[in-house]
Amino acid sequence: MVANLRPPTIPITEIEQSAFCQTDEDLSARSLEEEFGAGVRWQKLPLSYMRMKPEELDQRIADARAKLGDRAVILGHHYQRDEIIKYADFRGDSFKLSQLAASQENAEFIIFCGVHFMAETADILSSPEQKVILPNLTAGCSMADMARIDDVLDCWDDLEGVLGADNGVIPITYMNSTAAIKALCGRNGGIVCTSSNATATFEWALARGNKILFLPDQHLGRNTALKFGIGVDEMIIWNPFKPLGGNTEQQIRDAKMILWQGHCSVHTRFTVEQIAQAREKFPDVHVVVHPECTMEVVLAADSNGSTEYIRDMVANAPAGSVIAVGTEVSMVNRLASENPDKKIFCLDSVVCPCSTMYRIHPAYVLWVLDGLNEGVVVNQITVDEETATQARVALDRMLAVV
């Protein structure tokens, strides 16, 4: 075993997370030239696209889509801004969109309004003839950036060094990870999960091994493990910047859950104090949060679940319900507008959309569509054949788990 003494680094997407935070709910679209003022990386576009106002973009996008017809399909993640969601043929969480990407057999082009790992997954699951496009290449994911393949390979080697090759460790990677991490799971008897089916994938894994290595979100892993009666004292954190992840060999042998030290920049903003404030202001409030939140927040909430779960719960709540939601604010605002007979609000008073999702601006969508109409494919996301084959094994296991 070789000690990993590389100094810790903070993913650039994590540093940029607060760039779009506001103290009000005005997240309306501006020209891309105006949004370039935020302190984040953007993919550069021709100046003509950057200066277009929302109304002109709307009309140009409608015209470009009409020319393409059913040759292109647009997928929109729930965390996208409304100005993007309105163009989506389908919207959903990462699990739902993965299924939809696999089912779009007739579309030549899959325009994925999400982040990089989602487009990678769509490329893996779609047919070789289809082309997957990410409108803005700087739309990454800070959580995915926290699990680099070299670090995970080092971790896997360390686990084999301590536990042996037949170690009973089943790797599970959250959808929010690179194709290379999914491939590692595929070739080592593991599986991919989403927040929608994390419980089902844990059942699958625990039927095949006695330990789980969960990547890269420690909070989803911890919160799901608790449902199976696995105690916090049976979990360890794997810090990739320390030898053996910062653990002793005995701690590794005793652990049932090995949680990668990763997190979601959006969901870790929510606190127990925010829940207490919501309950003080609205005594009959129902608090629902995403399982990427910390354990303390999930335990303090009334319920927790994936974006699809939250969406369905709010839609099915009786009129007059008061619901505080702990997830990405663009989705919360959309839920509030779609359910005017209920009071829906975000737990966090500081409005912080996902800074990487927010980089899919209508100007990028138009640029992509114009290119396709001219026979030019820009920002195509491709995964090499070997990685795709191995990753598909883990993804197919996920899609088979109900």
Instruction: Write the burial class of residue 366 (CB in 10 Å: 0-12 exposed, 13-18 middle, 19+ buried).
Output: buried
Q: Quick one: how far is CA 249 from the chain centroid?
A: 32
253 CB neighbour count, 10 Å cutoff: 12
Contact 93, 194 (CB under 8 A): yes
pLDDT at 27 over 50: no
pLDDT at 15: 38
Least trusted range by pLDDT, from 276-290, 357-371, 383-397: 357-371
pLDDT at 349 over 80: no
Provide the residue type at 300 as one letter. Answer: A
- pTM given for the model: 0.82
- The segment with the largest mean pLDDT, out of 63-72, 81-90, 355-364, is 63-72
- Tell me: domain 267-346, CATH 3.40.190.10, correct? no
* CATH architecture assignment, domain 29-140+356-384: 3-Layer(aba) Sandwich (3.40)
The backbone torsions φ and ψ at residue 346, rounded to the nearest 5 degrees and listed phi first, read -85, 140
Name, in order, each residue with C-beta under 8 angstroms of 76's C-beta and a sequence gap of 6 or more.
84, 85, 87, 88, 90, 91, 113, 114
pLDDT at 139: 84
pLDDT at 138 over 60: yes
CA atoms within 13 A on the CB side of 261: 17
Least trusted range by pLDDT, from 78-92, 187-201, 240-254, 331-345: 78-92
pLDDT at 37: 55
Given the candidates 3.40.640.10, 3.40.720.10, 3.40.50.10800, 3.40.50.720, the CATH classification of the domain at 144-265 is: 3.40.50.10800
Q: What integer best gives the mean pLDDT of the chain?
A: 88
pLDDT tens sequence across 76-109: 988 888 889 999 999 887 767 877 877 888 899 9
pLDDT at 34: 62
Structural domain boundaries in the chain? 29-140+356-384, 144-265, 267-346
* Structure token digits, residue 187: 């070739």
Q: Read off the pLDDT of each residue in 307-324 and give the average, rounded to a whole number.
A: 96
- In percent, how much of the chain has pLDDT > 70? 87
pLDDT at 272 over 70: yes
**Nearest 5°: CA angle at 238, between 232 and 242?**
135
Name, in order, each residue with C-beta under 8 angstroms of 74's C-beta and a sequence gap of 6 or more.
87, 88, 89, 90, 111, 113, 365
